[in-house]
Amino acid sequence: MVNGVDFEKLLHESVKIHGHLCPGQVLGVKMSMLGLERVGIEDPKGRDRKSIIVFVEMDRCATDAIQSITGCSLGHRTMKFMDYGKMAATFVNLSTGKAVRVVAKEAAKEKAKEYFPGIGDKYRCQLEAYKVMLDEELFYSEEVEVHIPRQDMPGRPLSRVPCENCGEHVQDMREIYREGKVSCKHCAGGGYYTPFNEECKVQISKFS
């Protein structure tokens, strides 16, 4: 239970936010309940809300469930997205320093068939089975150490500087210093987008 609320109610609230019920939602809710319990967080959205940060390792359904249960979010800087592609999350109690990483077991997918052998659809089978499977069948967890730099903590930005190339401002010490110049990550060569200019139009027209 989280703050006196049982699994079924937590799952219902999570599904309302996520939009549909799926195995990932069940895993995310149970993962959150286990992680919070292990780090000693009882009321993540109330009295403990300033004591928790969660690192999620996937951008899948379970992440929405974790946000729903913990109240952590990117906007509050209490959820950190680590793009590892793993069904895992680390729960950190800032007050005590205790951190626990919870990982979904791959074997749970096969184990689910033992619970509901009559359900042919594997996703439906996993959905129903995950609801009743024990935590030790679904996850393994380990206590870990997590160092969180002060520029990654919640609160006001520690810095805000302009990129000398594009002029856009960069917050929280994300700028890059190269050859005596201050650059944003995009201008330093790490951009995910390309400005749509005349040169781009020419390149696109070659393949259209």
Summary mean pLDDT of the chain: 92
pLDDT in tens, 113-127: 999 999 999 999 999
Residue 27's φ and ψ, nearest 5 degrees, are: -60, -45
pTM > 0.85:
yes
Q: Amino acid letter at 154? A: P
Each residue of 46-105: pLDDT tens digit?
Answer: 999 999 999 999 999 999 999 999 999 999 999 999 999 999 999 999 999 999 999 999
Rounded CA separation 33/49 (Å):
15
Class of residue 142 by CB neighbours under 10 A (exposed 0-12, middle 13-18, buried 19+): exposed
Helix (H) or strand (E) holding 141: strand 139-144
State residue 98 phi and psi, 5-degree precision. -75, 135
Q: What structural domains does the chain harbor? A: 7-148 (3.30.1330.130), 160-205 (no CATH)
